[in-house]
A and B are shown apart, each in its own frame.
Chain A
Amino acid sequence: GDENNSQDVVNQLLQEALEAEVAEAQDDVAKTFISSQNKEYDQYGFLKFDLQDSDVLLSRANILSRQSLEMEYQIRDADEETSKKIKWENFMVGQSIAKPLVRSPDLKLLIRLGIPHEYREKIWKGCIDFYVKSTRDKLGAKYYKELSERANNNKSNPAIKQIQLDLLRTLPDNRYFDKIDSPGISKLRRVLLCYSVHNPLIGYCQGINRIAAIALLFLREEDAFWCLVAIIEHLMPADYYTTTLAAAQADQRVLKDLVKEKCAALYTHLEEKDVDLSLFTFNWFLTVFIDGIRPELFLRIWDVFLYEGSKIMFRYALAFLKYAEDDILKQPNSLATNRYMRTLGESITDVKRIYQIAFHELNPFPMRAISNKRQYHLQQVKIELEELEKVRKDMRSAHAGDEECSQNKQGYFSEDDQE
């Protein structure tokens, strides 16, 4: 009896101590959070606190648990990181400013391991040159400046308004883009305006503002513009950002096919729960994984993307799904699955694990098959869009008839609906 009693006392004391500590910690956290207007940013300028979390303590706890995970990974991967660093140093010794980057199997593997922060500008620029160097040379050194002037003089450019509205909604959690006078904002505005003048067929599509902003984190303004050109006009299939986003839609169907092949259980689960994968993956593809994914991870994806091209997006999307497959399968219904899927990208912290899945466990990964699927689905999407357009026109003409009969005022349906 005595033993039990003293155990109870100990338990109670422990409990009290814990409660006191938690209360104190809560106080401390609240204080440091409020008093320290010097917010915490990572090396890329992203805010580490998630201000969207209304619960400060919870938010702080999330950050701490993430940091501890990151530290765990750092220790786990320390040897590999060192070896990677040495390999990159050796590689960079052979590079000079005048020498263009040359593709090689070694470089490809090195890039898959991730480009060290200090070399990212140089390697990204080198990759971008693969695609745009000849165009850039042809158009001449003054091209960007001329575009700027044309953009300034063209007040009727339909893209201006939306670009302006979106500037502060691009990367609100990054210190270079969080206020109207932040250093990145005026550059972002110019890059987007120049692009809309350079390629009026695309003009401005929401999503490319994010791409331009990430490019601006590492590249000079003019290079960021060419990065946008490389991505939209070379790395991505045609029609990715045009008025129907047809190719981006087709890619969602390609992904669905691949999920069926590579993660059959997951595919069945999503079918059974009537969850449409594209709701969660479309923004990954359209923004090259910037939307809802942690910077360390999407920057690694960008490294490989800029070197190898847009098909690697399927490797990563599938790797994300495989990584979370067990958890997704545990979701009991469509509502729960939706909720889980919504934050899937954000929840991935183990960059190395993703790399392993993407480039080892998913193999074989024949690129030819992806090209064929892309072609097939693009055609399907285009047919469907045409049908939809036909229905819409029919409805409009039918409605126009009504209007005439009832002698109504001109309807709003005649508003310009082409961009």
Chain B
Amino acid sequence: MTEVLFKVIVIGDPTVGKTSFVQKYVNDSFRRDYKMTIGVDFALKVIKWSDKCNIKLQLWDIAGQERFTSMTRVYYKDAHACLVMFDLTQKNTFQSCVKWKKDLDQKCTLVDGSPVPCLLLANKNDDAANREVTQEEIEELCREHDFLGWSETSVKEGTMIEESMGFLIEEMMAKHAELEGFSDSFPAVGSEHKIKLKKEDSTQQSVSKCSC
């Protein structure tokens, strides 16, 4: 049995739902009253990828207040992938995503020097009445700033969480195979696990790959 360890960092402004996302994904629970994260917190999820391979996913839930970014270099170290998250009902948190992406790219790359794969998550899409960001705006930012793709999520309702993480895991496994030259030993990175990626229309059931 092979075991692959991936470190995924979760960044974005305060109160966009990073801790909730991590807890929902790892423990399948949602609460309204998480303590704020000071510095960083961790969670671990083990995924059976194939009969021959387990993935250990370590999620790093990173504090969002601006002044904590002076410490992010330590947190980003050796990350395999990243989730940049914002709150659809707070436009300023969307605008900050560029800042977060730049902070990451400036402080960290993969071992081959390529940028850390980054997925943009637009959380709280259950609150349609207070939505402040359009899909076109997200699409544009995603393309302009080299995100891998984006998805709307609702941690509260549990939508698009597995799918987003699945998408990211696919990417990490592909990269892993490429970097380690292991492509033969990971036949499991095949079509059965692939999430349908779409380019044009953006219904809410799949992660949108940026057309860049």
Contact = CB atoms under 8 A, between A and B. Distances in A.
Contacts of A52: 31
B96 A168 contact: no
B74 A413 contact: no
B106 A395 contact: yes
B39 A335 contact: no
Nearest to A244: B70
B66 A419 contact: yes
A252 to B, nearest CB: 9
Interface residues of B, number: 39
Given A243-B66, A278-B74, A206 B42 contact: no
Choose among A206, A210, A243 the residue with the greatest number of B CB atoms under 10 Å from its CB.
Answer: A206
A244 B67 contact: yes
Contact of B33 (A165, A169, A279, A342): A169
B98 interface: yes
B38 A165 contact: no
Interface in A127-168: 162, 165-166, 168
Contacts of A209: 36
Interface in A400-418: 408, 411-413, 415, 417
A54 B26 CA distance: 12
A172 B67 contact: no
Contacts of B165: none
Contacts of B144: 408, 411
A282 B70 CA distance: 13
Interface in B127-150: 141, 144
Interface string B3-43: 00100000000110000000000010101111110111110
Given A206-B63, A276-B74, A412 B106 contact: no
Interface in B73-106: 73-75, 77, 95-99, 102, 106
Contacts of B1: none
B38 A283 contact: yes
B65 interface: yes
A245 B68 contact: yes
Choose among B27, B97, B106 the residue with the greatest number of A CB atoms under 10 Å from its CB.
Answer: B106
A392 interface: yes
B42 A342 contact: yes
A287 interface: yes
B14 A291 contact: no
Nearest to B77: A276
B66 A412 contact: no
Given A205-B65, A206-B63, A342-B42, A169 B56 contact: no
Contacts of B141: 412
17 contacts: A54-B27, A162-B65, A165-B14, A171-B35, A172-B34, A206-B36, A209-B36, A243-B66, A243-B67, A246-B70, A286-B38, A286-B39, A335-B56, A412-B97, A413-B102, A415-B98, A419-B67
Interface of A: 51-52, 54, 162, 165-166, 168-173, 178, 205-207, 209-210, 242-246, 249, 276, 278-279, 282-283, 286-287, 291, 335, 338-339, 342, 385, 388, 391-392, 395, 408, 411-413, 415, 417, 419
Interface pairs A-B: 5 shortest CB-CB:
A172-B33, A412-B98, A283-B38, A169-B36, A244-B70
